[in-house]
Structure 1
Amino acid sequence: MLLRLPSKHIIQAFQRKLLSWYFLHGRKFPWREIQLDPYRAIIAEILLQRTKAETVSKVYLEFLRKFPSWKSIVDTDIKQLESVLTPLGLYRQRARGLKALAEKMIDTKGILPQNRDELMQLPMMGQYLANAVELVLWNKPSPLLDVNMARLLERYFKKRKLADIRHDPYLQKLSSAIVNTPNALEMNWAVLDFAALVCKAVKPECEICILNEDCKYYKNSVKDK
């Protein structure tokens, strides 16, 4: 089935508005402010999965202080690791996954695979985390597609067909097109921040939204009510 994306002109207008907003209103987090090596970058994205960025920001630097390397995670008792991860939720699942990934990274002397297929074989390395590695470490314009990015893109453009965002062809292709800019990292952050601060899941601030003029959600669900 042919996937029809918005025109290049529409996508570029969306990108310009969001980037302009981001450079004025974007959130500040430790993993955005410091130079990230592979370890720090991967740890940040693992902690961010299914957890609010504001919550992660409270524990990220402390986690790095307690666990400055893959070896420090391997050498730590699983219960102690779970205790540190408890404020983030999913602490048992996250601790087991981190242990398994750390052991694998020790085996490879901390060197990540250099292609997508091999990268996906690592523990915890799902689509989102692999995209994050490509974006942050390999400078590829990959989307940090989660429920927040999906919500903004679907409200502004149109809804996806499949329940799982990882397998919806339209949303996958659209998100890739949106972040395919020279500022791919900032574009990703702009979408995520705008979704968190303006295009919120509950009570989105549609009336003051800089995108509402062309937003399908605003036109169909808000404007005429």
Structure 2
Amino acid sequence: MKETEKISFMQSRLLKWFESNQRFFSWRQPNLSNYQIIISEVLLQRTKAETVSKLYDQFITKYPDWDSLHNAILFDIETFLRPAGLYKQKASRLYMLAKYMVENEGKLPKERSELNKLPFMGQYIANAVELQIFNKRMPLLDINMARVLERYFGPRKLSDIRYDPYLQDLALKIVDHSRSKEVSWAILDFSASICKKRNPLCCSCPLSKNCLYFKLHSIDC
């Protein structure tokens, strides 16, 4: 099967699966502010969505905008985020982002080269900003999306997904779809419930027909 056909198959099957199996989180609701979107993506880095969901709404209530976050005490932000893990790193990133946003009247640069210069922006958050705020077809590529793509298509060459050209190119092709945001969310939800790191539920997988991992492991369903 050609790569384009495998991509189309994956997109259609996962979007269909997503309709009945998607997870519902506050940060996926429509009409969120840019602030709410960015906060969610920072908190989600290397942290389970279920963990973030327990404190996201409270965080937005306590710090409803960039001004309130900028005026906060860093230690207080760290204390609030402690249950989320990596709390010092996340608190520092949010604090510096708040300073930048207040100084720039809440405006985000639209050029990727300028976006990358924001304090502690990082590839993942920059992709999320372009996808959810600027409506560009960019992937929410993290280790979970990488796992799904590699099992289905084949492994990457480099250990760091940020610099692997094969995986980066593949992720862009996967989300090159009119429902780009839903494709990314579908893959992330799929990685959490079906294509899990350990003991994936291959016999319940809608992609197994064309999945390389399924074929190589000769899974008997």
Identity percentage of aligned residues: 49
In the TM superposition, 1:171-182 aligns within 5 A as 171-182=167-178
Which residue in 1 is equivalent to 2:206? 210
Contact in 2 for aligned 1:128/1:144 (Cα 8 Å):
yes
* SS in structure 2 at match of 1:68: coil
Picking from 130, 137, 154, the partner of 2:150 is 154
Deviation at 1:34?
4.0
Contact in 2 for aligned 1:74/1:102 (Cα 8 Å):
yes
Contact in 2 for aligned 1:206/1:222 (Cα 8 Å):
no
Which residue in 2 is equivalent to 1:29? 25
Deviations 1:25-79 (A, max 9, x none): 1111111124211111100100000000011111111000000111111111111
Q: Which amino acid aligns with 1:215?
A: C
Picking from 41, 44, 49, the partner of 1:48 is 44
Which residue in 2 is equivalent to 1:164? 160
Which residue in 2 is equivalent to 1:201? 197
Deviation at 1:224?
6.2
Contact in 2 for aligned 1:143/1:175 (Cα 8 Å):
yes
Summarize the Cα distance change of 1:93–1:16 in structure 2 as closer, same or farther, 3 Å threshold: same
Deviation at 1:82?
0.6
Distance 1:95 1:223 in 2: 44
Contact in 1 for aligned 2:110/2:134 (Cα 8 Å):
no
Distance 1:55 1:185 in 2: 22
Picking from 90, 95, 98, the partner of 1:102 is 98
Once superposed, what is the RMSD of the aligned Cα atoms? 1.4
Which residue in 1 is equivalent to 2:115? 119
Bigger drift between 46-55 and 7-16 goes to 7-16
Distance 2:141 2:114 in 1: 21
Runs of 4+ in 1 over 2 A off after TM superposition: none
Deviation at 1:126?
0.6
Distance 2:201 2:220 in 1: 15
Which residue in 1 is equivalent to 2:57? 61
* Structure 2: unaligned runs, 5 residues or longer: none
Distance 1:49 1:101 in 2: 15
In the TM superposition, 1:69-80 aligns within 5 A as 69-80=65-76
Distance 2:69 2:197 in 1: 35
Distance 1:106 1:208 in 2: 48
For these two proteins, the number of residue pairs brought into alignment is: 221
Deviation at 1:222?
4.4
Does residue 141 of structure 1 match 2:137? yes
Distance 2:31 2:2 in 1: 35
What's the TM-score, normalizing by structure 2? 0.97
Distance 2:185 2:164 in 1: 22
Deviations 1:111-146 (A, max 9, x none): 001110011000121110000000000111100000
Picking from 210, 217, 221, the partner of 1:221 is 217
